Chains A and B, each alone.
Chain A
């Protein structure tokens, strides 16, 4: 009996792998996008704001406005400094996004500074890009403060009696790429696993061959095991490519244990397959399955802690993220890559994923069975 079941399962696994890997276009679509994403998005996602253009409306033309402008131009973060001749030009430059910030010096600026009065610099920033504007404003204010200090070094500044000394563990120079690349294992893995699952189930439903499977000697759970084979394989291959390339090519450290990473990865892929099956069991057509899985994956990525920290979300939403497998596995990949996370912690973040996998897989098995009767 048992050997017959094994035989049936291995037969359907072979059939499923064949179905997914046979089409050359599909083979390309399974393995190249993840590479492109690693290259393009690994580099595109940067928190740094540099190479920004600054406009200057200098009605002063004195020594101190020149000093500020030349320091801004000399800063490695600045792109171009654009000389503006009138408030109208300044408005246009900001409106058209030629510059993200503009400094305005009035005609008394250098005289005020020289006379020991406070010289006023107007600093105008493009609030449309709220995040970048804030960072640029900090840069510019630092430069202005540096010049201000050179005008009149405060005579009696003693060494401060206390200070904070920051150190950054796990990522000493705060490279954003070190955070992004392990996270791509999570998000790209989710996109692929959901798409392959949705395709393999919903396609057969749409073409009607799923009914043939149902009337074959295969049991429902055997069909589902077969359906897991292809997405599991595709997910593992893609993740392995990432796990090899990220440390070797991009220099992100991989400090933790590969065994616990892979165990956690398998559980994670199973949970995604479960979600994909659940969506497919509700869908009539491939189109519905693809769009349905999109409807699931977009919020799941936004609520994984990748886009913005979970700590920043309102409490009820933080609780809701607990049913999101991406959230848990992100802690694991960041931990195993950067923090040398011990197995006990990997386990603590993997069992919720295992629970999600069990719930979604059994729910989809139930739904498929219910459809049969």
Chain B
């Protein structure tokens, strides 16, 4: 047996792996085109900030206050209003999803406003879209409140407040959801390169038997894993660099930390990601199964359990426990921080340590699984 690391052999294998990456358009597609699409969608298209919502207005009263309130809804910048006399005409629109809500101004509205006995405006929102439903009921109330104030219906209700509180949002005063979504999409991209891509590439070598051919050469186990890790590691960092550049230049996400910190965080994440990919390929040895397992154990958790879309603290405790073994969970906080806050080494180091721990664990398992298969 030759020595564990042979310089020439290692270099030849790196060249082979790198050529394999560069020559396959699908790899480059995932590393450089998918990030573009994701950043673009998160930066421009997909937004949590609502614009105009289509609602129906059932105007069952023709008194002056009712018409004036109806007019307030029609002029509101938040709503696109379809007016009808009866509720029945609008119901079908709500079922079909053409309308997101219905405001009903009832027949006795004007009379009750005049008598001061409390007039109700009914707001029906489409609960099958909970987000939008909340928006509709909140803004429908807002339109009513400012209409009532404008007419002086609620005069004398405002007194100097006894306690005032104005929220200040650190790091992101305008509350741009982009600031959270773009580091999140970098997490997704790096998970895909680290885990999905490696799992596929190595599973393919198992499937085709080229791995056994490789194993018949004097190459050592450690060398083999290294030649699989390093090229994808470099690819992952390259993709991260591209994403970062785009985030700053095109999407105005601030970058307040240091490049060194970003590099440290990204590198720390790629180790467990690659380890997981190698482990999956060694266990499954089949491209289809490997892709499904990578999807289920890496891609989807990175998207849904890493805390960038949904708050981990609000999840049921069993699922919170699951998030602790999702490496992406330890990438999202430092990555967001290095963009919008700056260098916070205590936070970085804590997460980097967790990532390296997972990395060693996955690599050790991958090492064992690979060796066992060869023997």
Contact = CB atoms under 8 A, between A and B. Distances in A.
Whether chains A and B associate is: yes
Nearest to B91: A169
Given A52-B313, A287-B24, A348 B96 contact: yes
A166 B163 contact: no
A170 B97 CA distance: 12
Q: By CB atoms of chain B within 10 A, which of A29, A52, A145, A164 has the most?
A: A164
B127 A294 contact: no
A295 B34 contact: yes
Contacts of A307: 46, 309
Given A45-B304, A159-B118, A308-B47, A199 B128 contact: no
A272 to B, nearest CB: 15
B100 A311 contact: yes
Contact of B204 (A49, A166, A287): A287
Given A127-B172, A148-B161, A96 B315 contact: no
A144 B38 CA distance: 40
Contacts of B83: none
B47 A295 contact: no
Given A113-B163, A290-B291, A313 B37 contact: no
Contacts of A132: 311
Interface stretch (B257-265, B338-346, B364-372): B338-346
Contacts of A14: none
Interface-centre pick from A25, A140, A148, A149 (highest chain B CB count, 10 A): A25
Given A162-B113, A174-B134, A283-B26, A339 B128 contact: yes
B119 A161 contact: yes
Contact of A127 (B124, B169, B305): B169
A167 interface: yes
A311 B286 contact: no
A302 B163 contact: no
Interface in B164-180: 164-173, 175-177, 179-180
Nearest to A339: B95
Interface in B213-259: none
Contact of A165 (B120, B126, B134, B310): B120
B127 A172 contact: yes
Interface string A312-349: 11100100000000000001001101111110010010
Contact-size category for B: 35 or more
Contacts of B137: 164, 166, 168
Interface string A283-307: 1011110111011001100110001
Contact of B126 (A131, A134, A169): A169
A86 interface: no
A359 B333 CA distance: 44
Contacts of B316: 43
B48 A131 contact: yes
B7 interface: no
A129 B335 CA distance: 12
Contacts of B164: 118-121
Nearest to A52: B313
Given A41-B304, A164-B137, A131 B288 contact: no
Contacts of B360: none
Interface string A144-180: 1101110110101101111111111111101110110
B123 to A, nearest CB: 5
Contacts of B201: 287
B165 A147 contact: no
A46 B323 CA distance: 14
Nearest to B322: A40
A338 B340 contact: no
Interface in A1-56: 23, 25-26, 28-30, 33, 36-37, 40-41, 43-52
Given A44-B304, A119-B162, A133 B284 contact: no
Contacts of A165: 120-123
B48 A162 contact: no
A258 to B, nearest CB: 18
A120 B296 CA distance: 49
B127 A171 contact: yes
B135 to A, nearest CB: 9
B128 A338 contact: yes
B89 interface: no
Given A164-B137, A164-B141, A311 B53 contact: yes
A311 B125 CA distance: 15
B313 A288 contact: no
Given A118-B163, A288-B24, A174 B47 contact: no
A122 interface: yes
B209 to A, nearest CB: 12
B4 interface: no
A76 interface: no
**Which residue, of A29, A33, A340, has the highest number of chain B Cβ atoms within 10 A?**
A29
Given A120-B164, A295-B37, A308-B48, A128 B340 contact: yes
A120 B46 contact: no
A240 interface: no
21 contacts: A68-B163, A96-B344, A96-B347, A122-B165, A122-B166, A127-B172, A128-B179, A128-B341, A148-B161, A152-B162, A154-B157, A162-B119, A164-B137, A179-B128, A285-B24, A294-B196, A309-B50, A309-B129, A311-B50, A317-B44, A342-B95
Given A169-B94, A178-B130, A339-B95, 19 more contacts: A29-B289, A44-B319, A49-B313, A125-B167, A125-B169, A129-B307, A130-B172, A130-B176, A131-B48, A133-B175, A154-B159, A160-B148, A162-B153, A171-B128, A288-B24, A290-B200, A294-B30, A295-B37, A345-B95
Interface of A: 23, 25-26, 28-30, 33, 36-37, 40-41, 43-52, 64, 68, 79, 94-97, 103, 113, 116, 118-134, 137, 140-141, 144-145, 147-149, 151-152, 154, 156-157, 159-172, 174-176, 178-179, 191, 195, 199, 203, 283, 285-288, 290-292, 294-295, 298-299, 302-303, 307-309, 311-314, 317, 331, 334-335, 337-342, 345, 348
